[in-house]
Structure 1
Amino acid sequence: MGCLLQINVTANWGSTGKIAEDIGKLAIDAGWESWIAYGRGNPSSESKLIRIGNDWDMKSHALQSRLFDNHGLASSKVTKTFIRQIKEIKPDIIHLHNIHGYYLNYPLLFDFLKEYGAPVVWTLHDCWPFTGHCAYYDYAKCDKWRTQCHDCPQLRSYPASVWLDRTERNFNRKKDAFLSHPDITFVPVSDWLKTELSKSFLSDYSAITIHNGINLDIFKPSQNITKQGNEKVILGVASVWDKRKGLDEFVKLRPLLPDNYLIILVGLSQDQISSLPAGITGIRRTENVGQLVDLYSMADVFVNPTLEDNFPTTNLEALACGTPVITYETGGSPEAIDDHTGFVVPYQDVTTLAEKIKIVCEKHPFDSIKCRERAVEFYDKQKVFKEYINLYNQVLKQ
């Protein structure tokens, strides 16, 4: 069929790396040669792999970002080496994911992509491509990105700068680089992000929403469920817990729930676990997917009080295990559920959040079968990611 090159900060690790891996597997099954170029880790993959730079290069890039607000503008030498590798493998499609993450020089990459001329597909997992600094801006309630970033209110958020504010320059550099390529198809992973994209300097490009998908053979209702008495289990899961993911919201929620309601949070650091109030149990991040499936299945409700997000896969995993979801009205998070599978609560309305949790736990308005059916219909990765293969064939014919 052709040669596919995906570029992402990780390969077969983390949410975006696993998405790239799954797309690569489907491409191989469809007869493509599949490559994944990545910036960090030591992954295994069914695709052929290219490591862009090394750990030292990443640390140097991160330091420059922190000192000079220079994210995506370092790593010149390793990016030039990578460009030579691209020329050797001659991909027919170049599929970008997260090109931020301290490993790549995006002006150099886009100078090459414009000259190379192959169509580019760019999956947007966050908002970084059209801001002067941040990956998300909801929490800061900032809309400068719509016209011109400057005087960033989130300078110390990822990718943090501890000294200089060059957001105005960074915004213009991105605009110049990304608008230079005439053949990009953007793939936001939520309708919310597609709407945000339409308000940005990238609004004239073609865009199609392809939601994230999960492995329904792994995430499914578990039989290993043990609960004590009238205990109600409220589950929260994140790869990294911080204010953005809603850790403080759970702390505020705890006093509003009865004593027999146990909150379990997965993915916390040991320091975070040590500081939790009574009634909240913390679990370190687990690579044991079976344990995670058991927790999803055991929970009466999955709660996602995220304060800024695109389309979190944890919602999908919970649904696939037959568990209803309650989420704040944040970004694309509400898109995972409907009236038969969960509640959407106004932003940071902890009182209403507590009320909805009690309704789910005591009145059981949602059927676990309906939750599973929604996951099967809309979020089966085998079906969802085939849309990328169709997109590749489509853009090649244009």
Structure 2
Amino acid sequence: MKVLQISTVCGSGSVGRITVDIYHTLEKQGDDCLIAYGRRTAPKGVHAFCFGSPVSMGIHVLSTFFKGEHGFASASATRKLIRKIEEWNPDVIQLHNIHGFVLQTELLFDYLKKAGKPVVWTLHDCWPYTGHCAFYDYNNCGQWRDGCKDCKEYRNTYPYALFKNNTANNYKRKKAAFTGVANLTIVTPSRWLADEVKQSFLKDYPVQVIPNGVDQTIFRPTENDLRKKLGLEHSFVILGVANVWERRKGLSYFCGLAKKLPEDCKIILIGLNEKQIRELPEEIIGITRTENAEELAGYYSMADVFVNATLEDNFPTTNLEALSCGTPVITFETGGSPESLDKTCGRVVRKGDAEALLQAIFAEREHPMRKEDCLTRAVQYEKNDRFMEYAALYHRLWGQGE
């Protein structure tokens, strides 16, 4: 079986890592795999094809900023991708994120409708069925159910349509493009997102929940000297990790916590940019983004607790990475973030409740959850088991098409 995965990135960020993990799972069982990606670079040893370019991405950014049209530029890059699909002739096409300034989605879906091949589309966020936003829980917005006619967030949230609100028209174009594919199955990592999809214009497609998985040969408890290097031998260490510390990831909550925690509690945040680090309270240790998974596992392992102050999320892999390193998780009750936890390994507090977040940290400090219970919970998120569910789905769809 030949499986083509299409993703904005290949190997970087949580979605890029999931794409490569699925690739290796299929490769091990003898399937032929190709990843087509739009930007950055691919890891060595992966059969990959880059259809994007800096020029195409730049034009797409301008189209988004000035015309409010995201997902409707990059026509030449999309035609390049379609030529590669026709040349390689896959049996199954797997879509991941198709936003991110890399694709003309109408061209792609017009091709998919004509090609008639089985398509699996994993929704890593909500962008496919809204007129603009990748997430909307921050403002408890429900306009995506009936057309996104009065968007208030088009300037403030990714993909940042700075100068024009074209949200309602984008919604209509997406609905026309994304519906009507004869053999398309939607996958969501969380039960929460599956329920949302069933209320959207994608509701007529079958939906399967496949939770994300992580590589537990990398994300595992490790001995290291990070505490000594950072002078934290006698501190209670609180860790936060994000790919990009945008508004919804809750950076402001950590800044507030830093002023209220006792001196022997220390916050470490990973994934910040240089400007954010300069603006941090002195009580927080800020670290820039790392693509080194082993280094990241070391930080998870040395922390006493992982705090995910996200205000909207699908099924964050950071929670899984922390659990796999034996570290308990505290998170807001939003989206699918609590779904990876139970009472033995995590604490869930009301979304946006800063005082409850602080008290949960104090509770974890006084009555720490056991590393062994975190590891027991993490077993179900071992990547090979989870991504074999993708392999089984591909083979079932391929068999139906033969």
Q: TM-score range by the shorter chain?
A: over 0.9
* 1:279 counterpart = 2:283: yes
Q: CA deviation at 1:372?
A: 1.0
**TM-score scaled to structure 1, two decimals?**
0.96
Q: CA deviation at 1:79?
A: 1.4
**TM-score scaled to structure 2, two decimals?**
0.95
Indicate the residue corresponding to 1:388 in structure 2. 390
Q: CA deviation at 1:317?
A: 0.9
Question: What CA distance in whole angstroms lies between the structure 2 residues aligned with 1:212 and 1:11?
Answer: 16
Letter in 2 for 1:391: L
SS where residue 306 of structure 1 aligns? coil
Counterpart contact for 2:221–2:324, Cα < 8 Å: yes
Counterpart contact for 1:214–1:381, Cα < 8 Å: yes
Indicate the residue corresponding to 2:117 in structure 1. 118
Question: What CA distance in whole angstroms lies between the structure 1 residues aligned with 2:105 and 2:237?
Answer: 45
Question: What CA distance in whole angstroms lies between the structure 2 residues aligned with 1:201 and 1:126?
Answer: 15
The gaps in structure 2 that reach 5 residues or longer are: none
After TM superposition, the structure 1 stretch with the greater mean CA deviation from structure 2, 74-83 or 171-180, is 74-83
Q: CA deviation at 1:45?
A: 4.7
Indicate the residue corresponding to 1:268 in structure 2. 272
Give the alignment's Cα RMSD to 1 decimal: 1.4
Q: Deviations over 1:260-300 (max 9, x none)?
A: 11111111122211211132111122234333222211211
Counterpart contact for 1:69–1:166, Cα < 8 Å: yes
Question: What CA distance in whole angstroms lies between the structure 2 residues aligned with 1:256 and 1:386?
Answer: 45
Indicate the residue corresponding to 1:311 in structure 2. 315
Question: What CA distance in whole angstroms lies between the structure 2 residues aligned with 1:296 and 1:230?
Answer: 17
Indicate the residue corresponding to 2:172 in structure 1. 172
* 1:93 counterpart = 2:96: no
Q: CA deviation at 1:155?
A: 0.8
1:247 to 241, 251, 256: 251
Indicate the residue corresponding to 1:368 in structure 2. 371
Q: Deviations over 1:206-241 (max 9, x none)?
A: 011111111101111112254656421111111211
Counterpart contact for 1:150–1:166, Cα < 8 Å: no
Indicate the residue corresponding to 2:335 in structure 1. 331
Question: What CA distance in whole angstroms lies between the structure 2 residues aligned with 1:153 and 1:240?
Answer: 22
Question: What CA distance in whole angstroms lies between the structure 1 residues aligned with 2:8 and 2:20?
Answer: 12
Q: Deviations over 1:366-389 (max 9, x none)?
A: 11011011112x110011101000
Question: What CA distance in whole angstroms lies between the structure 1 residues aligned with 2:327 and 2:68?
Answer: 42
Question: What CA distance in whole angstroms lies between the structure 2 residues aligned with 1:304 and 1:260?
Answer: 20
Counterpart contact for 1:8–1:17, Cα < 8 Å: yes
Question: What CA distance in whole angstroms lies between the structure 2 residues aligned with 1:291 and 1:396?
Answer: 39
SS where residue 109 of structure 1 aligns? helix
Question: What CA distance in whole angstroms lies between the structure 1 residues aligned with 2:50 and 2:166?
Answer: 29
Question: What CA distance in whole angstroms lies between the structure 2 residues aligned with 1:243 and 1:65?
Answer: 19
Counterpart contact for 1:21–1:46, Cα < 8 Å: no
Identity %: 48
Q: Deviations over 1:328-379 (max 9, x none)?
A: 0011110111010010000111111111111111222x11011011112x11
Q: Deviations over 1:78-119 (max 9, x none)?
A: 212221221111111010000111111111111111110001
Q: CA deviation at 1:164?
A: 1.5
Indicate the residue corresponding to 1:58 in structure 2. 57
Letter in 2 for 1:214: V
Letter in 2 for 1:51: C
Indicate the residue corresponding to 2:204 in structure 1. 204
Indicate the residue corresponding to 2:133 in structure 1. 134
Letter in 2 for 1:392: Y
Question: What CA distance in whole angstroms lies between the structure 2 residues aligned with 1:144 and 1:102?
Answer: 24
Indicate the residue corresponding to 1:69 in structure 2. 68
Letter in 2 for 1:284: T
Indicate the residue corresponding to 1:296 in structure 2. 300
How many residue pairs were aligned? 395
